[in-house]
Chains A and B, each alone.
Chain A
Amino acid sequence: MNPLLRPLALLGRGTRRGLARLGNVTLFFLDALLRLPLTIRFPREIARAFLQVGWLSLPIVGLTAVFTGAALALQIHAGGSRLSAEMVVPQIVAIGIVRELGPVMVGLMIAARVTSSIAAEIATMKVTQQVDALVTLSTDPMTYLTAPRVLAGVVTVPVLVGVGDVLGLFGGFAVATGQLGFTPESYVETSWNFLTEADIALSLIKGAVFGLIAVTLACHAGLNAGRGARGVGQAVKSAVQWAAILILAANVALTGAFFSA
């Protein structure tokens, strides 16, 4: 092959592999969706998944949101002062947190915390033959392992995004009222009046989609893990990096779709 064409060939191979993986994950997700009604047979697995994905993620989501809101308020104030527009801090923090930073930060935190732990857990089950054991015990791994987690991702991540939005707004409020000279009443009133129902709906929809991406990729990587410790490591790495990329890509697509409509 012409050496000049090699980078193109590499790019083509990478694109083909990426698309094949995307197709594979989509089929996997549809398979998991079909099993959702059957997962009712495993209430304890559902409860465990809700705990793992939702409840135990609250501290990291809350802290991340507070700090992000606080930093955003400082940035907007500093940037706005160049245009004598310091007073837009409540509006920009509100729209920035609710439409973008809240869902994206929560999505990335979920990719880091939940995707990695689910991928590692299921991949370890795969390499230690626990997944085979499930099959030999007349239990379908997709129904027992994947469907409860997908359900938990779709239901709990929007809730986490809602909590993240509130705490992010609180972070901005705390800095604005404690350091930037805003009064609490006017800050809250301005923020609240500026937000629309569409902003909140978009935020929660993004949460559901990001939860779906993070959990589906984790289960897919875990159930398709290679052998040994290396297989587990690669499954986790691959799940987390693809979850982060797809969450950011889905964020662009959803924002574009919502506000161009």
Chain B
Amino acid sequence: MIRLDHIAKSFGGVPVLEDVSLEIVSGQSLAILGRSGTGKSVLARIALGLMAADAGQVMIDGAPMSAKVRRGLMTQTGVLFQGAALFDSLPVWENVAFRLRHGPKRVRRRAAKDAALEALDKVGLDARVADLLPSDLSGGMQKRVGLARAILGRPRLLIFDEPNSGLDPVTAGEIDALIRSLVTDLGAAAMTITHDMASIRAIADEVFLLDAGRARWQGPVEDLDGAKDPLLARFLSR
């Protein structure tokens, strides 16, 4: 589905990513693990075509990233941003149905609202929140709305940027379970950026450890406990 080959990126001469390569295939859930400031979010932005790499290439279904490929990618990608990134001026249902209302394939208001209510139901939100504004919701509910927006239209690629940041452990666990079931249900390729080990064990099939902009360890989630990497050991001991 998506492959990143030898990606490098620097800001103001300071390297943020150096020679990073990874691949996610359909149905696979990959977690990008790393300390704060190691370039995880930059990697996700490059994967989405929101930022250009200084070197290396992003391949989508075998085609190199271009404006046309990116446009195509966006129609089949769902992203949950770190702060949910909901549009303040729109009610919840319009946030969820934004792509249906404003994207290339437009859907009538009634049908879009029905689809939004269905997506809200999938993430465990009542239809009563549909007409509220995002500012009326708690952080956990906003994350759920962001998740509903990400999964609407059955995307082939899902990207979750720190889906549990700022949430209490119970809500975080619920969001993790939701992500896992949605990824399985949709059969999509998923990339989750996190530094939460409990979340990784709940969500991921594969783990990719990024340190100081470089790939440090990669393997199946089952191999985490047997890994000898000292940084990984420090994550596991938390």
A and B from one assembly? Answer: yes
Q: Measuring CB to CB, which residues of chain A are less than 8 angstroms from any residue of chain B?
A: 41-42, 48, 125, 128-130, 132-133, 135-139, 144
Shortest CB–CB separation between residue B107 and chain A, in angstroms?
A: 13
Bound CA–CA A77/B50 (angstroms) = 61
Q: How far is the CA of A195 from the CA of B87 in the complex (A)?
A: 48
Say if the beta carbon of B199 comes within 8 Å of chain A.
no
Whether A138 and B103, one on each chain, are in contact in the complex, defined by CB atoms closer than 8 angstroms, is yes
Q: Does B85 contact A (CB under 8 A)?
A: yes
Q: Is B98 an interface residue (CB 8 A)?
A: yes
Given contacts A138-B74, A138-B75, A139-B98, contact A133 B81 (CB under 8 A): yes
**How far, in whole Å, are A209 and B74 apart by their CA atoms in the complex?**
36
Measured between alpha carbons, how far is A125 from B86 in the docked complex, in Å?
Answer: 9
Across the A-B interface, the 4 shortest Cβ-Cβ residue pairs: A133-B85, A129-B85, A138-B103, A136-B79
Contact B50 A137 (CB under 8 A): no
A136 in complex: contacting residue of B48, B82, B88, CB < 8 Å = B48
Q: Determine the distance from Cα of A81 to Cα of B50 in the docked complex, in whole angstroms.
A: 66
Q: List 16 A-B contacts (CB under 8 A).
A: A125-B87, A129-B85, A130-B85, A130-B86, A132-B45, A132-B50, A132-B81, A132-B85, A133-B81, A133-B87, A135-B48, A136-B79, A137-B74, A138-B75, A138-B99, A139-B98
Q: Is B173 located at the chain interface by the 8 A CB criterion?
A: no
The number of chain B residues with a CB under 8 A from chain A is 23
Flag whether B71 is at the interface (Cβ < 8 A).
Answer: yes
Closest to A41 in B: B102
Within 8 Å by CB of A129, from B75, B81, B88, lies: B81
- Please report the C-alpha to C-alpha distance between residue A41 and residue B74 in the assembled complex, in whole angstroms: 19
Does A139 contact B87, Cβ atoms closer than 8 Å?
A: no
Q: Name the distance in Å between B30's Cβ and chain A's nearest Cβ.
A: 18
| Residues of chain B within 8 A of A133, CB atoms compared | 79, 81, 85-87
Contacts of A136 in B (CB 8 A): 48, 50, 74, 77-79
CB-CB under 8 A from A125, the residues of chain B are 87
Q: Which residues of A are found within 8 Å of B78, using beta-carbon distances?
A: 136
Task: Decide yes or no whether B83 CB sits under 8 A from chain A.
Answer: yes
Q: Which residue of A lies closest to B83 (CB)?
A: A128
Query: Given contacts A130-B87, A138-B103, A144-B102, could you give 6 more A-B pairs where the C-beta distance is less than 8 Å?
Result: A137-B74, A137-B149, A138-B75, A138-B99, A138-B104, A139-B102
In the complex, what's the smallest C-beta–C-beta distance from B60 to chain A, in angstroms?
14
User: Which residues of chain A have C-beta atoms less than 8 A from B71's C-beta?
Assistant: 138
| Nearest residue, chain A, Cβ from B103 | A138
Q: Which residues of A contact B99 (CB under 8 A)?
A: 137-139
- Which residues on B sit within 8 Å (CB–CB) of A128? 83, 85
A42 to B99, CA, bound (A): 13
Q: Tell me which residues across on chain A come within 8 A of B77, comparing CB atoms.
A: 136
With A42-B102, A144-B102 already in contact, the answer to whether A135 and B74 are too (CB < 8 A) is: yes
User: Which chain B residue lies CB-closest to A127?
Assistant: B83
Chain B neighbourhood of A42, CB < 8 A: 102
